[in-house]
Amino acid sequence: MPNLRWQRCDPKTIQLLGNVLARPQAVKQDAVEAILLRDGQMIEGAASNLFIIRGGVIHTKAASLAT
């Protein structure tokens, strides 16, 4: 799902409203989690952090790149 948190200006909040709204959409599609995308890159889960294990090494987004 696209990460729309900073693209919407109608909700006057900087909280995780976009994530909260994405979660029920994922459940309707029989998914456990919604993975949010920005510029084609996986950013985070709606209610979880994102980790990938590749070649026995755990990868996650660097804190400095999270925003």
**39-66 pLDDT, tens per residue?**
888 888 888 888 999 999 998 877 665 5
Supply the pLDDT for residue 65: 57
Residue 28 annotated among the catalytic residues of the structure: no
Spatial neighbors of 64 by CB under 8 A, at least 6 apart, are none
Which candidate in 7, 9, 10, 12 is catalytic? 12
Classify burial at 5, counting beta carbons within 10 Å of its beta carbon; exposed 0-12, middle 13-18, buried 19 or more: buried
Higher pLDDT, 28 or 9: 28
pLDDT band at residue 2, thresholds of 50, 70 and 90?
A: confident
CA–CA dist 10, 24 (Å, integer)? 20
Q: What pTM value is reported for the model? A: 0.60
Q: DSSP state, 18?
A: H
pLDDT at 15 over 80: no
